[in-house]
Amino acid sequence: MGKDKSSTMPDAATASELDEFRTLIEERSAILFDASRERFFAPRVNQYLREIGEQDAAGLLRRIRGSNVEYDRFLESLLTQETSFFRYPAIFQALERVVLPEVQARKLWSNPRVLRIWSAGCSTGEEPYSIAITVADALPFADAWQIEILATDISREALQFAERGVYAGRSIASVSAAQLQAHFSNLGDTWRVKPRIRRMISFAPMNLARSVYVGRMDCIFCMNVLMYFSEQRRNELIRRFYDALEPGGLFFLGHSESMKNVPVKFETAVYGDCKYYVKPVGPASEKKPVALGKGS
């Protein structure tokens, strides 16, 4: 049966076309649409074909191979950007009660007193703003510090949203009333992050599949990003994070992510139900868990 050229419904992508999309995305952006995401991937690709009025997957493949802009637009339609303020409260408690006091003691006599934190895969900004609010509330004399939070993501749409700094609903459900009053301006049903918090953060587009120099960091958050990468890409990136951290620097992953079989020797620290990773000071030490109980 020949295809009816007047039809507006595109042909569904074939299995081999879907494989071509997967390979291209993994090569360029490190994101792996493997069997576990099968139910999501094909419908999304086919929906995108309909949205852009492309007649078949071969046409879309030509478009995204021929133009970075077309590729980026296609990728945007596939990204998972779920996030919220203080998504894992224990992580921000660890930042407030263990990490920041330790950094403060270590850098007390540094001049200038610089604190550099990277939120890698920051989505629409809730994570870096949560970090900034925690720093502003926990660091005595925060204004005496040069605080630089680098917030990067591959999605330009997410970054544009983040730069506006306006939030509502579920996204801010875990922000306390005191934090809303202190760090946001109320605009009807929405809340805008105040300039003091906004100024701590630089948002920048960055594809984590490519190696980019970011300078030395005291702390790196890469939460719920590496779970979409192949083991090899994940390990390459973890090595880059390790190299970017100061000795004694800290690395935070999402709750369901693990550091099994990684090529570098972080020490593991535990605070409540939060696990995080410390770059050893001096020669890499054995991987022993460091238990830091609540309030310790």
Ligand X SMILES: C[S@@+](CC[C@H](N)C(=O)[O-])C[C@H]1O[C@@H](n2cnc3c(N)ncnc32)[C@H](O)[C@@H]1O
Count of CA atoms in the C-beta half-sphere (13 A) of 8: 4
Neighbours of 29 (CB within 10 A): 21
Kindly state the smallest distance separating residue 30's Cβ from ligand X, in Å: 5
CB-nearer residue toward ligand X: 3 or 156: 156
CB of 87 to ligand X, least distance (A): 5
The residue among 147 and 162 lying less far from ligand X, judged by its C-beta, is: 162
Cβ distance to ligand X smaller for residue 99 or 222: 222
Name the minimum Å distance from CB 285 to ligand X: 28
Angular region, 41: left φ>0, alpha ψ -120 to 50, beta rest? alpha
Residues of this chain that interact with ligand X (CB under 6 A) are: 29-31, 79-83, 87, 121-123, 127, 153-155, 158, 206-209, 223-225, 228, 254
CB of 223 to ligand X, least distance (A): 4
**Rounded-to-integer distance, Cα 116 and Cα 285, Å:** 24
CB atoms within 10 A of CB 98: 19
* Residue 156 beta carbon to ligand X: minimum distance, rounded to whole angstroms: 10
> Over 100-128, what HEC string results?
HHHHHHHHCCCCCCEEEEEEECCCCCHHH
The residue (of 49 and 206) whose beta carbon lies closer to ligand X is 206
Distances in Å between the Cα of 63 and the Cα atoms of 74, 209, 283 are 10, 22, 50
Considering beta carbons, is residue 55 or 174 the nearer one to ligand X? 174
Measured between alpha carbons, how far is 185 from 192 in angstroms, rounded to an integer?
5
Which tokens is 39 given? 């139910």
Smallest gap, in angstroms, from Cβ of residue 13 to ligand X?
21
Rounded CA gap, 34 and 41, in Å? 9
Q: Which one, 4 or 82, has the nearer CB to ligand X? A: 82
